[in-house]
Structure 1
Amino acid sequence: MWEEKLKIYDQLVAKCHRFKRKGKTVPYTSANGYMFSLLNKNGEIGIRFSKEVQEKYIKEFNSSIYRSHNAVMKGYVLIPDDMLHDLDNVANYLNEGYDYVMDLEPK
């Protein structure tokens, strides 16, 4: 199952040309010193947004906050599996997460 989700995550990131996937055992994307997406050990994808957008998307996606290794990931939204059938749509959200961290003060 995790390997299948890794393939989906790689396909998702490949649709976005401004950044690349990083991490061997914990795949993620980062820019400007901040991670903005992650594939956890449970095969769940999370994307980071501002607090206001996070709350909006949790409702809109009928989802929840995102956890990785039993830690709540600040600003992240769990991307439901049913959304992964339209990676072009999810890529728009991933690009939005990239834009969000690029607007933050660099680390």
Structure 2
Amino acid sequence: MREKILKIYDAIVEANPNFDRKGKTMPYTSANGYMFSLINKDDELGIRLSKSDTIAFDKAYGAKPFKSHGATMREYVLIPDALLKDSKTLGTYLQKGFEYVMSLPPK
């Protein structure tokens, strides 16, 4: 499963010139001093979204909390398996995550 999600994640990140994948054992993206996507040790993908994007995501996919190391990650949504098959939509949400952290004060 890990290889499959890494392949999907890497392809989506690589297709967007705004950010790069970081991390060897825990792949993530960050900008402006904030992480906005992460693959946890359970091979689940979470994306950090604004409140309005989270509401829209919830209506479309049912926003479930994303956990990493046993802690619920605030502002992150768990990406369902069905969305992993839709790279275009997934890429759109990753871009929304990037735009959200760029709207925050720099760290």
TM-score by length of 2: 0.92
Aligned-pair CA distance for 1:4? 1.6
| Corresponding position of 2:4 | 4
The answer as to 2:72 corresponding to 1:81 is no
1:4-51 deviation per Cα after TM superposition (whole angstroms, max 9, x unaligned): 211111112112111000001100000000000001111111110123
Amino acid at match of 1:49: L
In the alignment, structure 2 segments of 5+ residues that lack a partner are none
Q: How many Å separate the matches in 2 of 1:66 and 1:59?
A: 17
**What is the root-mean-square deviation in Å for CA atoms of aligned residues?**
1.2
Q: How many Å separate the matches in 1 of 2:60 and 2:34?
A: 25
Is the contact made by 1:65 and 1:77 (CA closer than 8 Å) also made in structure 2?
yes
Is the contact made by 1:15 and 1:88 (CA closer than 8 Å) also made in structure 2?
no
Amino acid at match of 1:12: I
Is the contact made by 2:54 and 2:63 (CA closer than 8 Å) also made in structure 1?
no
Is the contact made by 1:21 and 1:27 (CA closer than 8 Å) also made in structure 2?
yes
Say which SS state the counterpart of residue 83 (structure 1) adopts: helix
| Structure-to-structure mapping, 1:3-82, within 5 angstroms | 3-82=3-82
Q: How many Å separate the matches in 2 of 1:50 and 1:88?
A: 19
Segment of structure 1 superposing worse, 93-102 or 52-61: 52-61
Segment of structure 1 superposing worse, 80-89 or 50-59: 50-59
**Identity percentage over the alignment?**
52
